[in-house]
Amino acid sequence: MVREFVIMATRSMKDYAARVVRQVTKFPDFATLEGCDAVKALQTNRFADGEMEVVIDTSIRGKDVVLFTSCAHNEANIPVEAAKIEAYFAVDALKRGQASRIILFEPFVSCSRSDRTSRRSSVGLWVHFKTLVSLGARHIVTYQLQSDKSKSIVDPTMCLVDDIPALTLLKRYLCDVYIRDSKTLEQEVRPHWAFCSVDAGGEKLARDFANSFGAPLVVAHKQRDYSRMNTIESINILSAEPIEGKVLWIVDDMVDTAGSVSSLIGALVPLKPAEINIIAVHAIFSPPASQRLSQLAEQGLLRRIIVTDTVYCPYSSPEKIPGLEVVPSTELSAQIIRAIVSNRPMSNLLQPFSAETYLRSPTLFHHTEP
């Protein structure tokens, strides 16, 4: 049974939410959903002194509300702090509008890196989640949190947290666009590809890719200078097989300033791989990321950068960054919403990915050559 629901968005994600609605209405049981109007029904008013107020222009009493929001780079060019306040105000307005359940969908949680409790500092992710829950959010959905421990911040009896592994989107994309059949997987990928972590902490992500494709793993051990932000002292490369002649895929959950991947590529080039690529979920691309990646591509040191659209970025276009490919996540977001509002299992979205199994029966996203 499908619960009555609407899809809304703060200013930071109205376009993304509208695209999700178009995907949702492709499902036969949601063909009559009038969600695009609901997306626009959440309005933000600004007062002369800079204060804001979020207003709902439609009735939501007794309905489930899926609220899309982003506090990272966004299409409305709203600063991080203002985007967070607007998200909090929106949840408050929905609660006061007597929504039955508020499902907050934040594809990229921008404060997810602020999750360390061992330092004398604020814990941004704790503040963000606790604020949302206290205001009335009862289900938070996101893609690829930086660490598994982040999900334990919220008491599951008060609010559910679904951290969907968006790396699966990228694995399917590799299969659909660059591998295509089991023969290529066996004869080209497994003997000639390798997946590389950005650092020791990212080994789990890279190993996950290596296991999914049956290819070798390369681990980069990075020594940081913690007295300065985004500073790397040295990188050691560990690999059970020679890297020379391999097609390397650097795997990460996000690319911010691209400082880590730039330093890593500098350490990998002397090992003579056939080509180096980057594959990551969240394309934050804070300056000078665009410049760094473009220079690497123009120098022939970086061939492809494959990311998703969980973060809006005006710099993320192939015209500005050579070799950039953006994988859409809106169809997957629509599937998640469908599962939640109709109480269907999401186990198929959470299962480990096997390239061999997928190539025998692909079920999601069929792309053409870029």
Q: What are phi and psi of 216, to 5 degrees?
A: -65, 160
Closest CA to 144 of 169, 127, 172, 124: 169
Multiple choice CATH, 167-327+352-360, 3.40.50.2020, 3.50.50.60, 3.40.190.10, 3.40.50.620: 3.40.50.2020
E strands, the chain, are 5-9, 42-46, 52-56, 64-68, 101-105, 139-143, 160-164, 193-197, 217-224, 232-239, 247-255, 275-283, 304-308, 324-327
- Tokens 């999601």, residue located: 364
- Share above pLDDT 90 across residues of the chain, in percent, rounded to a whole number: 69
For CATH 3.40.50.2020, the residue range(s) in the chain are 5-164, 167-327+352-360
pLDDT at 34: 61
Residue 273, C-beta contacts closer than 8 angstroms, at least 6 positions apart: 194, 243, 244, 245, 246, 247, 248
Residue 24, C-beta contacts closer than 8 angstroms, at least 6 positions apart: 7, 30, 33, 35, 334, 337, 338
- Tokens 């609660």, residue located: 95
Banded pLDDT at 35 (limits 50, 70, 90): low
Question: Residue 341 is inside which H or E element, if any?
Answer: helix 330-341
- Helix 289-298 and helix 259-268: axis angle, to 10°? 20
pLDDT at 369: 38
Report domain 5-164's class: alpha beta
Banded pLDDT at 92 (limits 50, 70, 90): very high
Task: Pull the structure tokens for residue 289.
Answer: 């990321």
Residue 137, C-beta contacts closer than 8 angstroms, at least 6 positions apart: 91, 102, 103, 104, 159
Each residue of 160-172: b (16+ CB within 10 Å) or e? ebbbbbbbbbbbb
Alpha-carbon distances of 230 from 17, 134, 145, 233, 262, rounded to whole Å: 33, 34, 20, 10, 12
Task: Pull the structure tokens for residue 278.
Answer: 């980057």
Lowest mean pLDDT among 154-168, 272-286, 353-367: 353-367
pLDDT at 69: 97
Beta bridge partners of 162: 141
The residue ranking higher by pLDDT, 230 or 221, is 221
Closest CA to 328 of 341, 316, 346, 310: 310
Please, what is the average pLDDT of the chain? 89
Closest CA to 155 of 126, 122, 112: 126
Once rounded to an integer, what is the mean pLDDT over residues 121-131? 92
Lowest mean pLDDT among 18-32, 39-53, 71-85: 18-32
Residue 8, C-beta contacts closer than 8 angstroms, at least 6 positions apart: 17, 38, 39, 41, 42, 56, 65, 66, 67, 68, 90, 94
User: Residue length, the chain?
Assistant: 370
How many angstroms separate the CA atoms of 317 and 323, rounded? Answer: 9
Find the Cα–Cα–Cα–Cα dihedral 96, 101, 103, 104, rounded to 10°.
20
Once rounded to an integer, what is the mean pLDDT over residues 48-52? 93
pLDDT digits (tens, 9 = 90+) for 306-331: 999 999 987 666 678 999 999 999 99
pLDDT digits (tens, 9 = 90+) for 268-312: 999 999 999 999 999 999 999 999 999 999 999 999 999 999 999
Banded pLDDT at 160 (limits 50, 70, 90): very high
